[in-house]
Structure 1
């Protein structure tokens, strides 16, 4: 947060300017204060970019996709447990409720990789669409859903046979999805600013709704309250009735979000943003009750309901290289050893 000089334009007395400055400063401080704070920073020495992360509460670990591998980190110690290697360009993770296996969307390999959670070994590779990105487990049908960003469709994989049993075409680029456990899947269509409702048994889109904000990426769901929380560009989260598609509110969040979370106990929705802010929204009032500074680049997150903790990841970067004919938008290099997990809690 930048410090601004307080310059009142309408103050006419000697006492008005200090008073306005005090009120302005108090507003900024109160917006950052709230129930959550940064508890710890865990450094990981290995290199590589990152995308989604996912908590396995029962096993006390968090998984982080890191390009050609996935890190598994102990949430009690912050130490690296091990890695799942031999991948091509990972994006997301999902866990089977059986506690035995997990699923990785390996976008660079156009596949879903099944891994053994006991020893982090790869046990199967299932061909999917082009560049599977987000991935979820749908419990009512016991299927795995891979949302393919480039082929603009969804690969539905039977968890028992580990085979694709359906391919669902969607009207644009699918981003994150959620399942309500009753046979409905919801999916953000980023380039159309829409949200889809899909029948998980019939493999059909049953409703298409405006997202209520631009370029929705992360998505969380209040299953008990039947509400969806897409996070979008333009510093907005949308709140949508998952039955009717009605937009209930658009609370303010940070800039450049990529992930969302839901706390069923306290009725709070989270949005993590690239500007280094974790936004906390009270779902009873639809007001943002906290904008917690984290660190620039910490735009993906995972929420652990068992501990009421949020995990975010980011790193430090060097200067951006000059553009070339082959690469018009080069990314700045990550500084070795700077990758970290930010632990947020009460």
Structure 2
């Protein structure tokens, strides 16, 4: 082989290796009964680390640069901060000013500067500076807030409230509630389309998904989806919504244009929360009662495998 051709081959090999390395991702799964975090390598689909965290970990979020994982520990009323380079606990941070806040949902802004943490018992959201780990604001929301999501542009935070059956919209520039949107009964998971124009809310007691027009701040459609929908996530191309079900042991796939059910994917046990891999090709689903995580191929919408995790896996984030 000529020297020039050899150089081209070597260069292509190195580029391929670099692209592969940059595409590597991990799934972070909170196990609320074993008080730990399962770290899954998505390439090999195996657990590469199990990290002890606080008491009854639930919500989990990864910083935009992938360097930190934030975990809300409901019974400890604090947050665990994990360094992803070393897979060790970097800090333990109070979740808010309440002694028994019961933090659950957690989300980080796209710029990585703030955390929004739902405190179920007092009905508040703690706003925490990620650089200092200091509480910078407390926002009162609805009754029994469950989860939180930040819009793709970072301007709005949506908080679902289980008992007041609504979504509170927080303006991140002022950290204040600027709207309340009535949705179905017992809203749980909420997710945005990539363009931020729609939000999808799984309403557990109703067995529906509420579709919100984010500009008008109102529900424009209600989609029947079977019993106990919980987590929702929109595909990267914005064409599909994946909805995890706690009763039917399935993930339902909805068409965002027609609001029709495209298919139902069995997960074998109670499905809870959902997260897509960075390339959008796989969906990770916590199978709460089964102590496993289901992996779904989003190209063909079929179950690929399940991965053993800790006891009662709850939240999941992939980066």
Report TM bin, short chain. Answer: 0.7 to 0.9
77 and 141 in structure 1: CA distance in 2 versus 1, 3 angstrom threshold: closer
Q: Show structure 2 runs of 5+ residues with no match.
A: 1-21, 301-319
SS of the equivalent of 1:192 reads coil
> Is this contact kept in 2: 1:254–1:271, CA < 8 A?
no
Q: Distance in 2 between matches of 1:86 and 1:248?
A: 40
RMSD: 1.8
Aligned to 1:63: 28
Q: Distance in 1 between matches of 2:288 and 2:201?
A: 25
> Is this contact kept in 2: 1:112–1:146, CA < 8 A?
no
Q: Distance in 1 between matches of 2:156 and 2:58?
A: 23
Aligned to 1:193: 165
Aligned to 1:339: 291
1:206 is the counterpart of 2:178: yes
Which of 102, 107, 122 aligns to 2:69? It is 102
> Is this contact kept in 1: 2:62–2:108, CA < 8 A?
yes
The residue correspondences of 1:273-288 to structure 2 (distance < 5 A) are 273-274=245-246, 275-288=248-261
103 and 310 in structure 1: CA distance in 2 versus 1, 3 angstrom threshold: same
Q: Distance in 1 between matches of 2:24 and 2:70?
A: 16
The residue correspondences of 1:245-284 to structure 2 (distance < 5 A) are 245-274=217-246, 275-284=248-257
SS of the equivalent of 2:75 reads helix
Which of 218, 225, 229 aligns to 2:200? It is 229
Q: What is the CA distance between 1:260 and its match in structure 2?
A: 0.7
Q: What is the CA distance between 1:300 and its match in structure 2?
A: 2.3
Aligned to 2:19: none
Q: Show structure 1 runs of 5+ residues with no match.
A: 1-56, 317-337
Which of 126, 130, 135 aligns to 2:93? It is 126
Deviation string 1:279-328 (CA, Å, 9 cap, x unpaired) is 11111111111122222312222222514211123266xxxxxxxxxxxx
Q: Distance in 2 between matches of 1:114 and 1:121?
A: 9
1:155 is the counterpart of 2:126: yes
Aligned to 1:177: 148
> Is this contact kept in 1: 2:225–2:252, CA < 8 A?
yes
> Is this contact kept in 2: 1:62–1:73, CA < 8 A?
yes
Q: Distance in 1 between matches of 2:280 and 2:119?
A: 32
Q: Distance in 2 between matches of 1:235 and 1:278?
A: 13
Aligned residues: 268
Please identify which structure carries the higher strand content: 2
Aligned to 1:302: 275
> Is this contact kept in 1: 2:129–2:136, CA < 8 A?
yes
> Is this contact kept in 1: 2:125–2:138, CA < 8 A?
yes
Which of 53, 64, 80 aligns to 1:113? It is 80
Deviation string 1:181-225 (CA, Å, 9 cap, x unpaired) is 2321111111111011111121100000111x1110011111415
Q: Distance in 2 between matches of 1:60 and 1:155?
A: 28
Deviation string 1:149-175 (CA, Å, 9 cap, x unpaired) is 112111111011111111111121111
SS of the equivalent of 1:172 reads coil
> Is this contact kept in 1: 2:69–2:81, CA < 8 A?
yes
Deviation string 1:50-90 (CA, Å, 9 cap, x unpaired) is xxxxxxx9542111101211110111112111022142110
Bigger Rg, which one:
1
TM-score (norm 1): 0.73
Q: What is the CA distance between 1:339 and its match in structure 2?
A: 2.5
